[in-house]
Structure 1
Amino acid sequence: MSERKAVIPAGMEAVYEKIGYAPAVKVGNTIYVSGQIGRDMAMQLVEGREAQIVQAFENLKLVLSAAGASLGDVVDLTTYHTDMRDLPLFMKVRDQYLTTHPLPAWTAVGAHMLGGAAGYIVEIKAVAVLPD
């Protein structure tokens, strides 16, 4: 089995140290990214629906970059939404970030609450594979 390596970008150390999970784990050429929410580097909720979705994608991009990957390497995306009526807005933002074809597989799930606190509307989990 390949070695597992925690991926912890600068600014996300508190997630690992205080909350107790890695923003991602890299195993061989595969990167498993934990759910990214609309929280800034000060671990504060970003206000505004579109701004929160953008921040979640920016956090995903940051984690992938720290692992040596990009959004173009994402092969599987799972998103959790507190209000499925946000899907058109989510897809509008998503399409600005995910432009490499073929597009990744995607599963959208409705959820009551995200990020352990009220106010979060989306969480984005991904799997990326680096080229050999």
Structure 2
Amino acid sequence: MSKREAIIPAGMEAVYEKIHYAPAVKVGNTIYVSGQIGRDTAMQLVEGREAQIVQAFENLKLVLAAAGASLSDVVDVTTYHTDMRDLPLFMKVRDQYLTTHPLPAWTAVGAHMLGGAAGYIVEIKAVAVLPD
């Protein structure tokens, strides 16, 4: 069995210690990133729809970097949205972050509530594969 390594970037220790999940787990050259939401390092909701989407992608970048990866290593993305009418805005922001071709696979899912609290509008879960 491959070794599993919890990836906990600086500023996300509270997620692991208080909420009890790893921001990501690395197994071999594959990184499984937990859903990233629009909260800052103080675990506070970021205000504004676009700002929340940007923060979720910035959190994704932070987790990937802690695992030695980048957005260009992402092969699969699953996003959860409390309002599917936000998809055009989400795609506008996403297209600024996910630019490497071939583009990753993507699944978008509508969800009633995210992050265990009201106010969060998007959650981004990803799988990245490091080059051999």
TM-score range, shorter chain: over 0.9
Q: Which residue of 1 aligns with 2:59?
A: 59
Query: What does the per-residue CA deviation read over 1:36-81, in whole Å, with 9 as the maximum and x for residues that have no partner?
Result: 0000000000000000000000000000000000000000000000
Moved over 4 A (4+): none
In the alignment, the residues of structure 2 paired with residue 41 and residue 102 of structure 1 have an alpha-carbon distance, to the nearest angstrom, of: 31
Offset of residue 123 of structure 1: 0.1
Tell me, in whole angstroms, the C-alpha distance in 2 between the residues paired with 1:71 and 1:44.
24
1:73 has 2:69 as partner: no
Task: Supply the distance in 1 between the matched residues of 2:41 and 2:92 (Cα, whole angstroms).
Answer: 24
CA distance in 1, matches of 2:54, 2:2: 33
Quick one: percent identity of the two aligned structures?
A: 94
Matched residue pairs, number? Answer: 132
Cα deviation 1:95-122 (Å, max 9, x = unaligned): 0000000000000000000000000000
Secondary structure at the aligned position of 1:9 is classed as: coil
With normalisation by structure 2, the TM-score equals 1.00
Query: TM-score scaled by structure 1?
Result: 1.00
Which sections of structure 2, spanning at least 5 residues, go unmatched?
none
For the residue of structure 2 that corresponds to 1:25, the secondary structure is strand
How far did 1:4 drift?
A: 0.1
Q: Whole-Å Cα distance in 2 between the matches of residues 20 and 84 of structure 1?
A: 29
Aligned mates of 2:102, 2:90 — CA distance in 1: 19
